[in-house]
Structure 1
Amino acid sequence: MALLAGLSTCLGAVLVLVWGRPGRRSFAFFLGLAAGVMLAVVVLDLLPASLNAGGLSRALPGFAAGLLFMAALDLCLNKDQPVPGVGYRYLKMGYLIAAGIALHDLPEGLAIAAGFGEPSRLGPLLALAIALHNIPEGMATAAPLSAGGLAPGQVLALNGLVSLVTPFGCWLGMLLLQASPVFLPSLLAMAAGAMGYIVAAQLWPESHRLHPPLARLGLLGGTLLVVWLNLFL
């Protein structure tokens, strides 16, 4: 189930590739949608779970580490491109989103493992919710990579690699549950910091630049999607 949840990232990428390279308006909506999903996951899922599991003393350093990691990765990707073109900017955005989603998927896999460790039906519900989360995230990864000129096969291959992080996290979670859950709060907070950086530095500025009304509509839609998942799944 963790593998299927992870592979839904590829489903999102396939949807983008089948529809073709998005235009300015649809790309603004896709980026806004991804920003809404990521922001809502950070505020409603990752940070509360980290605080509940480890308190502020564990959540704050993890969040800062996620921010610094993504900022450093951003600087590294810009190092050889002092004045990056539009294609490179979209490629960089896609790689950053992929890295952030991979960091996000690791604690998601851990969460699935923890859910199946409970006597209730929490595990399958978590797997379904994560699968639905990953579809727009796959779209958000594929759209800038495709706009940057990456071949469809390479877009799918990168999304496939990202999708494997969820089952790996589940496997790791099963091992950690046998030892100690002490690492979970930091991983959750680190994923929150990474995704927060992506939203603030990449997704929202670019989406708003392309088409502000559709960017806001996408942001609202992504946020409501996560709220709906949290309420009914």
Structure 2
Amino acid sequence: MFSILFAAFLAGLSTCLGAVLVLVWGRLGRRSFSLFTGLAAGVMLAVVLLDLLPASLHYGSIIQVISGFAAGTFLMVALDLILQRENQSPKLDYTYLKMGYLIAAGIALHDLPEGLAIAAGFIEPGHLGPLIALAIALHNIPEGMATAAPLAAGGFSPLLVLFINGLVSLVTPLGCWIGLLLTRTSTAVLSSLLALAAGAMAYIVITKLLPECLRLHPPTARLGLAGGFTLVLFLNLFL
């Protein structure tokens, strides 16, 4: 059980690796920020369309998928409204900070069923568990970039950016631990969680990531979007 949780922990920790890459890159210009956010938008969009929604439909009914997707969307709308307040600090750009908060929340919702998926993969015979963990780790790198880039642009210190990404990364082993305790995850619960994460991530991509990266530098944004989508497609085809 410890080895499985450790694999899930490493998969989640790759979120911090993505944050480190952004922080090492230095102060992000318009093209760099557009590339990172476009890449994350492509990854998140592909995960929603190619992984989360099909898996949710596999484990549950169409009603569960629709209700879960709607719940995830409404949850992000509620968080967005809560964060709609005036910035109290002249040193911080709250527009970017709010984007970072929402992305972190969406990725955390996404990471919980990912942890369940790792647990289910290791329960099944064969090499499915390690492959799922590897795929999730690769997915989490650009997602960590997406969280770190707006937080850094908003004025947060590198340590605080890493701390927030570290908190997000713990959700993956938490989901794996829950899945191992249940041994056989309830398909109804898993279907709803997958759809919930899909709704949350779709809201973030459509209302936050795409408008911002296309506003900053459209050609670079499209390049990042295509690259992120292609990356997930490659992982689905060969892992």
Structure 1 length as normaliser, TM-score? 0.96
Q: How far apart, CA to CA, are the structure 2 residues paired with 1:181 and 1:204? A: 32
Q: How far apart, CA to CA, are the structure 1 residues paired with 2:185 and 2:109? A: 22
1:180 paired to 2:196: no
Q: 2:165 pairs with 144, 156, 159, which one?
A: 159
* Identity across the alignment (%): 72
Does the 8 Å contact 2:35/2:223 carry over to 1?
Answer: yes
- Superposed counterparts of 1:123-162, under 5 Å: 123-162=129-168
Q: How far apart, CA to CA, are the structure 2 residues paired with 1:86 and 1:209? A: 20
State the AA in 2 paired with 1:200.
I
Does the 8 Å contact 1:116/1:123 carry over to 2?
Answer: yes
State the AA in 2 paired with 1:53.
Y
Q: How many residues align?
A: 232
Does the 8 Å contact 2:92/2:154 carry over to 1?
Answer: yes
Equivalence for 1:74? 80
What is the DSSP-based 3-state SS (H/G/I as helix, E as strand, rest coil) of the residue aligned with 2:75?
helix
1:88 paired to 2:94: yes
Q: How far apart, CA to CA, are the structure 2 residues paired with 1:162 and 1:59? A: 24
Equivalence for 1:57? 63
RMSD of equivalent CA atoms = 1.6
State the AA in 2 paired with 1:218.
G
Q: How far apart, CA to CA, are the structure 2 residues paired with 1:28 and 1:208? A: 7
Question: What is the CA-CA distance between 1:179 and the residue it aligns to?
Answer: 6.5
In structure 1, stretches of 5+ residues that fail to align are none
Question: What is the CA-CA distance between 1:80 and the residue it aligns to?
Answer: 3.9
1:205 paired to 2:211: yes
State the AA in 2 paired with 1:79.
R
Q: How far apart, CA to CA, are the structure 2 residues paired with 1:3 and 1:142? A: 19
1:218 paired to 2:224: yes
Q: How far apart, CA to CA, are the structure 2 residues paired with 1:80 and 1:65? A: 27
Question: What is the CA-CA distance between 1:159 and the residue it aligns to?
Answer: 0.3
Question: What is the CA-CA distance between 1:21 and the residue it aligns to?
Answer: 2.0
Does the 8 Å contact 1:21/1:143 carry over to 2?
Answer: no
